[in-house]
Amino acid sequence: MKITKTTTPGLYGDGGGLYLQITAAGVKSWLFRYMRAGKARGMGLGPLHTIGLAEARARALDCRRLLLDGIDPIDSRNAERASQPVAQADEVTFKQCAEKYIEAHRAGWKNAKHADQWTNTLTTYADPVFNSQPVSAIDTTLVMKVLEPIWATKTETASRLRGRIESVLDWATVRGYRTGENPARLKGHLDTLLPKRSRVQKVVHHPALPYAHVAAFVKTLHSQEGVAACALEFLILTATRTNEVIGATWAEFDLDEGVWTIPVERMKMRKEHRVPLSARAIAIVKAQEDVKRGDYVFPGARDKKPLSNMAMLQLLERMKRADITVHGFRSTFRDWAGETTHYPREVCEAALAHGIKDKAEAAYARGDLFAKRAALMEDWAAFAEATCAKS
């Protein structure tokens, strides 16, 4: 073949599937053509100025040998190229990947302590097992070695740890540090090796005050002094969470309309929540104007700081009510609403800012049932005040 002198564009066969390809621009390169599953395929073997005829023939021979063994040369080359980044990343450890994953996602986590929780659980349980092994070497055996010792005794921690390991390994795969299935995947994998959480973990509910005792408790709460007592009563009347109450700012309230709008960043479901305020709840907020200092409705001891997230719990301890929790008042409200009222379930759940688990139902639930919730919360406040007056 007069390969150096040929300039006319086209394909020039050398035999055995090897061709010299000349483009319209005059670029010359080697091409191996073959049939696979009834389809014609072409695999580039390199440019003429780098690959001579002898080497091109040798490469074509290698391709024919692969085909003889039932292997597609193009698929074989692609698989080899895909494995190269992993081979080059053999020194990248799981710990290094975890650190990079946490840093990459830190800004998106709503709780500043979330990154610390990730770091602490992975450092405590995963690092001693994975040690300094490359992330590409983490397999099911190693993952099970991390999870099995604590799956039955610290089920919640183990479950979160598994999810975190899975996320880091997924990140490492996308970055090219490993290949293959994720050994920390639960569904269809680890769930066949580990017992169900429901079998080994007891559901622990926040101790809640029976709703029949709410009025008496609120009456006692009225005798307590300080911001924490006001915040706790407000929390009870609005059925909200601790961080939502202590983080409340004056700008979030429209007292004329009786609405408190909690922004996305403080909501567990990452969705803005409008809270209808009863007359008593509005009165509590207005009373806080007398101690107003800064942006927070329930200010802490330090300037420009909100009430501590432990303040209401410590108040319960001073009241010698260690038998209940602050969060438990949400359960108290839900029990009262479900057992003594005729409000629909969706209204009661919306009052607690619970998400709708059924995706089809959620797709049609566009409104927030505010008017109905307003009536519900007014009844809830009236229940406590009326019963309290009789006691």
Q: How confident is the model at residue 364 (pLDDT cuts 50, 70, 90)?
A: very low
Confidence (pLDDT) at 179: 86
Q: What pTM was computed for the model?
A: 0.54
Residue 322: CATH number of its domain: 1.10.443.10
What's the CATH number where 19 sits? 3.30.160.390
Residue 362 has pLDDT above 70, yes or no: no
Tell me, yes or no, whether 171 and 215 share the same domain: no
* CATH assignment of the domain containing 110: 1.10.150.130
How much of the chain is helix, strand and coil, in % rounded to 5? Answer: 55, 10, 35
Q: In degrees, to the nearest 5, what angle opens at C-alpha 310 toward C-alphas 308 and 313?
A: 135
Residues 294 and 381 in one domain: yes
User: pLDDT band at residue 214, thresholds of 50, 70 and 90?
Assistant: very high
- The overall average pLDDT reported for the chain is 86
Same domain (yes/no): 220, 334: yes
Tokens matching residue 124: 């405590």
Question: Encoding tokens for residue 268?
Answer: 């567990």
CB atoms within 10 A of CB 83: 13
The pLDDT of residue 390: 45
- Whether residue 228 is found in the same domain as residue 345: yes
Sheet bearing 18-22, strands edge to edge: 10-15, 18-22, 28-36, 39-47
| Band of residue 84 on the pLDDT scale cut at 50, 70, 90 | low
In a domain, 52, yes or no: yes
Last residue of a domain, one of 169, 200, 231: 200
pLDDT of residue 133: 85
> Residue 361: its pLDDT value, please?
43
Same domain? For 191 and 235 the reply is no
Q: Does the structure show a pLDDT above 90 at 198?
A: no
Residue 363 has pLDDT above 60, yes or no: no
| Residue 3 clears pLDDT 70, i.e. is over it | no
- pLDDT tier for residue 386 given thresholds of 50, 70 and 90: low
pLDDT in tens, 262-297: 998 888 767 889 999 999 999 999 999 988 888 999
Enclosing H/E stretch for 21: strand 18-22
Structure tokens at 343: 């409000």
Residue 71 domain boundaries: 10-85
pLDDT band at 27 (very low <50, low <70, confident <90, very high): confident
Q: How many structural domains is the chain composed of?
A: 3
Question: Of 44, 60, 85, at which residue does a domain stop?
Answer: 85
Domain check: are 216 and 246 in the same one?
yes
Q: Are residues 78 and 109 in the same domain?
A: no
Say what the pLDDT of residue 309 is: 87
171 in the same domain as 70: no
Select from 85, 107, 136 the last residue of a domain.
85
> Which residues have CB under 8 Å from 120's CB, separation 6+?
none
The two beta strands, 18-22 and 10-15, are antiparallel
339 and 250 co-located in one domain: yes
